[in-house]
A and B are shown apart, each in its own frame.
Chain A
């Protein structure tokens, strides 16, 4: 069974090398890629079944019991590799038609395989060094994918920005390993397995070592935890390390799907794997919570003002990552992992289908509309009450095993989603009240109840592999206060009246819109400079072929030479 585990990263890796080394044609590369990733996905599913129904730990390492070098996975790793390989399979299959005629398609296939392979290594690496290698490789591979159109300056710029942000995160990860080595010796990073119990003991050992920093004495565990938060923040585009993310739209759609499904949720994955260390430090928890909440609020607000479809998807992702990290900070590790997987599939589907929007808008303009039977106040109230009922029913039916903070997250956000959806349904109430209301209520019940049920099942599946009660995590009081304050501020801004508030609203709107455009400082040119640049182009009376289709061979990792 251990061999199966090796298939997941190794087969895609070999296939990627075959594509790169063999200068395969687009057609062959596509076939090789889907074959390899298909088998990797099958192996992942087999692993998942094995750890789900058989032995909970699957190992293939140099040492005994999953220690040493190699791969080892519990349920978390199996869930993640299954998700990543299936998403990659979808994206690669999609790209075989979507990128037809693009002579850089083989490069895309190779890199997608590398992303899948390295992400699988992150999820199943047997020790922290293996994990770190996978982590860094993932970052390199995805930033090379972001630079797919290497002949186009915005693409090169995006790849560069992505690499720089990831470099910050990767340095923090290397730093964290360094601290562990310093505190516990080399064995801790090479021989220590990554499961819940080993991590607990490592956290405790780290805590015993203290470091004096700026006159403060803190545990090595806190340093490691904070560095892990920074590592995750860079990968998951948390403020203030978020600016690379919008620039990645310079890559083709399937690259965005890979990035938003397979890579960007790194913070969640990392902090769940190292959960015991993470929640052993109040400092790290507060940092994560702060970054998470701020990102969730700001990025989601930016999404509201974006008028381009992919741009709003990008900012939605950033907001979702903030939410995910906040989940981790309140100790809701299982819920965070549920979010990682659910959101990955959600975003992959939305990116791949981004081309549907115009027909959709056009089609809907001509569909019959009926006006809502009641005004906003009644609409929201009714929706709120029904959604609350659905939530209560779901809780009663599924009895999820949650901490207080976890419960607040599930109840509040589940209820809020149900209410907002039902309110939307009411806004275009399709049928008369006697049919429309029950259908809407039923839909809400299924949605909200299904959410609670799905989460409960998922939680049960991985309960034994993540910490449950975490005394240092953000407590229910802080969480509830934070949510209440944000909700109040949002309501005030939305509904309040008066000239001053209007002015504030305008300033907020402009600030959000401004933050949403990738920075403009890059090449501020005066009219004179622009004309000169143009003139340079004009001299060539045979201007150019579309850049994207020019390069004739596969180039990997070498965009830097262009920028």
Chain B
């Protein structure tokens, strides 16, 4: 139990979007003051817009990418505003959840 007290609560946003739009998401994250993110390219899946192939051999842009970012709540809120806007005409999804980190200075 005590371990939890040493952790800091933060928000995590996971965005799944076409590889083409990854640069746009990256600039949103940077503008919002996020200090870093993790990107996984070539993710596959099935959903609202049908089937999506996973990694393609010679096309890093066409398949879906997932971008994961952890930041204080206010910054994630900023990111949400932008990503929501971005998704008005691009398909993709994002998930926001609470998370805990042990070294908050990494994320601020």
The reply to whether A and B meet directly (CB within 8 Å) is no
Query: What is B's interface to A at a CB cutoff of 8 Å?
Result: none
